[in-house]
Amino acid sequence: MAETPRFFNEMDGSGEKPRAPYSRYCDWFAEEPPERLRRKAREAETFFRRTGITFNVYGAADADERLIPFDIVPRIISAKEWAKLTKGIEQRVRAINAFLYDIYHRQEILRAGRIPVELIQNNDAFLPQMIGVVPPGKVYTHIVGVDLVRTTENEFFVLEDNARTPSGVSYMLENRETMLHMFPELFSKIRVRPVSDYPKSLRRSLSACAPAACNGRPVVAVLTPGIHNSAYYEHAFLADQMGAELVEGHDLRVVDGRIAMRTTLGYTPIDVLYRRVDDEYLDPLNFRPDSMLGVPGIFDVYRAGGVTIANAPGTGIADDKAIYSYMPEIVQFYTGEKPILKNVPTWRCSEPSSLAYVLEHLSELVVKEVHGSGGYGMLVGPAASKKEIEAFRAKLQARPAAYIAQPTLALSTVPILSRAGLAPRHVDLRPFVLVSPDGVEITPGGLTRVALKKGSLVVNSSQGGGTKDTWVLEE
């Protein structure tokens, strides 16, 4: 278990004895025969393969469906740690919703000079068509994924806000289901908060955001781009778990000012559409005319209050990585409070002084595309070759405004079960947040992503990462 001391090990802490959240688990682990654990790890892989929990990697030569590796050693968070995190997450999510309402209405934050006007005006994620639109319940981000990293016992940072179409919740649910199936005795020894209510909570939260046109129990549907999308498994899984219809653009049309889906009995109106289709593909009449994934006229119905779209169009401006760098100001502006959760220090390469610093320190920094996701298009300086750094330098000089840079954080580690036994690997955490007029609900846990390659800081599944079950302990 030895590793460079600068990385905080969430299980061992100082290394003398397990930290309190892990003490009961470690007692159990010490009694387990290694061969049984290895057999269980193989069983988990078989279970995931049978269930069809796969994803696609865009741009890969072998772009077949892949299995996301699952590690059977859970990541464990104490009730006290979780209580602090949830306060910070709720504060941040409320600020994001207030920011979105403001930015599409009076733009007070721009008038106050807290954010540069050009950061909004010149931003591809800003949707002018949303100006003046008030979503039902004034909720823009119905589902949010807040990516957190830990550096010490008591220090967490927000790495990213996922306010468009955050993915991964199906893995959180299946990871827990797998652990319950394989190690039922563990859950009788250790009191872990459940996550299985998420689909029911999601349905309830979305229903609470139904439009004024809704008559009776809200009809909820999940809009998917189709089977070739990398997250299609999740779209189908969530629709099934919620008891909602899974639809594609060609299943929908405008009927009497409503969005209706094709059924065996004709067309039935939909009240809430949980869309997993990007803004630009939503409506060929209002956005990309070549889109085959959306519904002609859906945006006009939305503006008129005939359907709720979750998340609202235009929310991408809130998880833009340049906007992220202003999140401390955004939180303070809309809540009147200091942020509970810290941002990672960020250099905006659009600013000449920041660009100069980044170019000089490329080998030390992590550089990301402003609109990037999934670990694509980024440079991890300490892990890159001189050739890769120089190639990235040219891209950065050609389009500086498209990038931000951050220091390489000393991400905490959690053990994985390797062939040689327990071995530390770097992790992050994506808690899932539901927002409705009834309040903010945060599922206890979330998706822990783990960099399975020794020394790697990149946890994305598309870049070779895996997942773990995340346990939040009962008080």
Per-residue pLDDT reduced to its tens digit, 82-113:
999 999 999 999 999 999 999 999 999 999 99
Instruction: Dump strand ranges (E) for 25-181.
Output: 54-55, 66-67, 70-77, 143-150, 156-162
Per-residue pLDDT reduced to its tens digit, 156-178:
999 999 999 899 999 999 999 99
The per-residue pLDDT for 459 is: 80
What CATH number was assigned to the domain covering residues 345-408?
3.30.1490.270
Per-residue pLDDT reduced to its tens digit, 452-463:
888 887 787 666
The per-residue pLDDT for 246 is: 98
Per-residue pLDDT reduced to its tens digit, 323-350:
999 999 999 999 999 999 999 999 999 9
- Give the pairing of strands 156-162 and 342-343: parallel
Residue-range domain boundaries for the chain: 345-408
Q: What is the pTM of this model?
A: 0.92
Query: What number of other Cβ atoms are within 10 A of residue 337's Cβ?
Result: 10
Quickly state the pLDDT bin for 55 (edges 50, 70, 90): low
Closest CA to 309 of 273, 335, 345: 273
The per-residue pLDDT for 56 is: 52
Distance in angstroms (rounded) separating the CA atoms of residues 269 and 265: 12
Query: What number of other Cβ atoms are within 10 A of residue 51's Cβ?
Result: 13
The per-residue pLDDT for 2 is: 39
What percent of the chain shows pLDDT beyond 70? 94
pLDDT exceeds 90 at position 230: no
Return the CA Rg of the chain: 22
The per-residue pLDDT for 17 is: 87
Contact 316, 287 (CB under 8 A): no
Q: In angstroms, what CA-CA distances link 331 with 109, 137, 292, 342, 450?
A: 11, 20, 38, 11, 29
Q: What are the beta bridge partners of residue 365?
A: 407
